[in-house]
Amino acid sequence: MEKIKSLTIRIDEEKWQKAKVKMLLEGKGRTFQDICEEAIDRYIEESDDKEKNK
């Protein structure tokens, strides 16, 4: 069974609204959670790549 952690973020209201509008216009059904998970995955991959290139 996968363990799930929760995360609370604070973000500027203007950025929040811009992101929300973009998500609605894309119409792909993405959520803020999807975006955060993708960003975390990218961060992990980039960090792993940097460690390999040392």
Q: Is the pLDDT reported for residue 30 higher than 90?
A: no
Q: Is the pLDDT reported for residue 26 higher than 80?
A: yes
* Gap between the Cα atoms of 47 and 19, Å rounded: 25
Q: Is the pLDDT reported for residue 35 higher than 80?
A: yes
* Gap between the Cα atoms of 11 and 24, Å rounded: 18
Which DSSP letter does residue 28 get? S
Q: Specify if 4 maps to a domain.
A: no
| Residues, the chain | 54
Tokens at residue 10, please? Answer: 């604070």
Range of the domain at 48: 13-52
Q: Specify if 21 maps to a domain.
A: yes
Q: Specify if 33 maps to a domain.
A: yes
Q: Specify if 7 maps to a domain.
A: no
Q: Specify if 6 maps to a domain.
A: no
Q: Is the pLDDT reported for residue 14 higher than 90?
A: yes
Please state the domain count of the chain: 1
Q: Specify if 36 maps to a domain.
A: yes
Q: Specify if 19 maps to a domain.
A: yes
Q: Which of 23-27, 29-33, 45-49 has the highest mean pLDDT?
A: 45-49
